[in-house]
Amino acid sequence: MCEELMVRHGSPTLAGLKTGSLFTCPFGEEQVMQDCVRCWNHALAPKGLRVMPLRWQNGRALIYLYRPARLAKDLQRPEARALLAPRGYCCEAPARCLGRLMQRLRERTDFPHEIGLFLSYPPEDVQGFIQSPVCGFKCVGCWKVYGDAQAARQTFGRYRRCTEIYCARYAQGTTLERLAVAG
């Protein structure tokens, strides 16, 4: 079931279209989740992907599927650094950024808004949401868009098509390892 959730929510990341994806997956025990994550990492690491549980709560894990090399590049962008530094992130070390994100997730009941930078959301849209989450956005798709609405709509379409194709292929028996594109 969790593998199916990964395909449904992480297809654009598996396909190399975006840096990272989040999904929540139920697990009976934390050890089962850790074993599952270890297996996923063993299978997906050769493709340049990593799976990390960001939070464990009430029998559910918040799973982050991502491309570490791409995350490092994303976090080096000046716009991303300007948003993350005041929130205690060290952008020179992506692993430390993920540690800080995990800490922020533990401290809060909602999602820290900067999480969008870990999911390939444009920094201008993340900044717009931080400043005005309720109004001022131009359109809504995978995220609220405050910047280039046309480009965002095209991206949403690519993500939707990718997800449809990947879900169909997975339903036909294509394995997770075969769906993952080397990056």
- In this prediction, residue 182 carries a pLDDT of 93
Beta strands in 31-164, from DSSP E residues, in sequence order: 50-57, 60-66, 139-140, 144-145
119, 129 Cβ separation under 8 angstroms: no
What is the rounded (10 degree) CA torsion for 137, 127, 110, 58? 110
pTM of the model: 0.94
- In this prediction, residue 110 carries a pLDDT of 82
pLDDT tens-digit profile, the chain (183 residues): 789 999 999 999 999 999 999 999 999 899 999 999 999 999 999 999 999 999 998 899 999 999 999 999 999 999 999 999 999 998 888 999 999 999 999 888 788 999 999 999 999 999 999 998 888 999 999 999 999 999 999 999 999 999 999 999 999 999 999 999 998
Cα–Cα distance measured from residue 66 to residue 83, given in angstroms and rounded to the nearest whole number: 20
- In this prediction, residue 111 carries a pLDDT of 85
Residue 142's SS3 state is coil
Amino acid at 2: C
Cα–Cα distance measured from residue 30 to residue 26, given in angstroms and rounded to the nearest whole number: 10
Both tokens of residue 11? 């297809």
Place of tokens 């090399």: 69
| Neighbour-count burial of 183, counting CB atoms closer than 10 A to its CB (0-12 exposed, 13-18 middle, 19+ buried) | middle
